Amino acid sequence: MTIGRDTAGLIRLSEAVDAFLAAQSAPPRAEYRVRLVVEEAVTNVIKYAWPDPTGACTIEFMLSRESNDFVVRVKDNGVAFNPLLAPQPDFDTPADLRRTGGLGVYMVKRASDSAAYRREDEHNILELRIRGDE
Amino acid sequence: MELQVVEQSDALSHVALRGRLDIKGVSESQMKFTVATSLRHKPTIVDLSGLEFIASLGMGMLVDTVKALKRSKAGLVLLSPQPMVREALVSAHLTGVCPIVETLDEAKAKLGLSQG
């Protein structure tokens, strides 16, 4: 599924993810984690991948089941950015005093059993795996 | 995303969130939530027992409410979240400013309100 950098696209995407997870009879915990990483990863791309948008901004999204794992792939044509290298939020500072940013990526890393990033042909490609048996 | 206003009194704001606090849920409920909570400047209980999902945008909505209420010296307490929502809130280190309790009496006590 391909969407643009608008929240309406993410909402359509979420509905498609819901349908897929239901068809796969995903266990509740896996379902929550998949929804979370999709929401956070795609929101992060929408917010930050195109600081000065010119031309088409596209996000290619794929969700599949491989062996028992759910595999999320997010590919965008935005600026080069590896979210896996982003620093985590400053949890020593109370949440209401903390600088905003970083929480979504932190939650992606925490909710995924494995995560990999590569830059290929002017695209960011993020692949996340979530175990589907819990 | 459904927001129910449980109580709006001189002592307390009490709302319940049901459904999913994802990007769609936040966009649907944020204004109504703000009106029912931070704009009232009262100690606030947010019942999460019917909330199935929360992501960072939803957490940001809660933290923004905490910040606004703090200016009025009012607190916010989260009531009885479901296990995976609770886990998400704990992993995001939010419970320091959004404490979690299990009963309404605990919530009122946490906010310094008399029970009953």
Q: Is the pLDDT of residue B41 over 90?
A: yes
Tens of pLDDT, residues B78-103: 999 999 999 999 999 999 889 999 99
Over residues B64-72, the mean pLDDT reads 94
Model confidence at B68, in pLDDT bands (50, 70, 90)? very high
Considering only the beta carbons, identify the residue of A29, A40, A110 that sits closest to B55.
Answer: A40
- Residue A85, CA distances (Å) to A7, A50, A55, A109, A125 in order: 25, 18, 27, 10, 14
- CA atoms within 13 A of residue A8's CA, in its CB half-sphere: 1
Q: Is the pLDDT of residue B116 over 60?
A: no
- CA atoms within 13 A of residue B61's CA, in its CB half-sphere: 25
The Cα–Cα gap between B75 and B42 comes to 8
Local confidence pLDDT in tens for the 134 residues of chain A: 999 888 889 989 999 999 999 999 999 999 999 999 999 999 999 888 888 877 788 999 999 999 899 999 999 999 999 999 988 888 888 888 887 778 899 999 999 999 999 999 999 999 999 999 87
The Cα–Cα gap between B28 and B1 comes to 7
Q: What are phi and psi of A35, to 5 degrees?
A: -60, -40
Question: Which residue has tokens 């969407």?
Answer: A3
pTM: 0.91
Model confidence at B25, in pLDDT bands (50, 70, 90)? very high
The SS3 assignment for A114 reads: strand
Please report residues of A whose CB lies closer than 8 A to that of B53: 32, 35-36
Question: Which spans in chain A are helix H?
Answer: 7-23, 28-48, 103-111
Q: Which amino acid is at A118?
A: R
By C-alpha distance, which of A72, A76, A74 is closest to A21?
A72
The Cα–Cα gap between B105 and B110 comes to 9
Q: Name beta bridge partners: B93.
A: none
**DSSP label at B36?**
H
Sign of dihedral through CA atoms A29, A70, A21, B94?
positive
Q: Name beta bridge partners: B15.
A: B5, B46
Distance from the A123 Cα atom to the nearest Cα atom in chain B, whole angstroms = 25
Whether chain B has a CB inside 8 Å of the CB on A95: the answer is: yes
Over residues B8-35, the mean pLDDT reads 95
Which pLDDT belongs to residue A48?
86
Whether chain B has a CB inside 8 Å of the CB on A100: the answer is: yes
The SS3 assignment for A132 reads: coil
Which pLDDT belongs to residue A97?
83
Considering only the beta carbons, identify the residue of A28, A96, A103 that sits closest to B92.
Answer: A103
Which pLDDT belongs to residue A93?
83
Q: What percent of chain B has pLDDT over 90?
A: 93
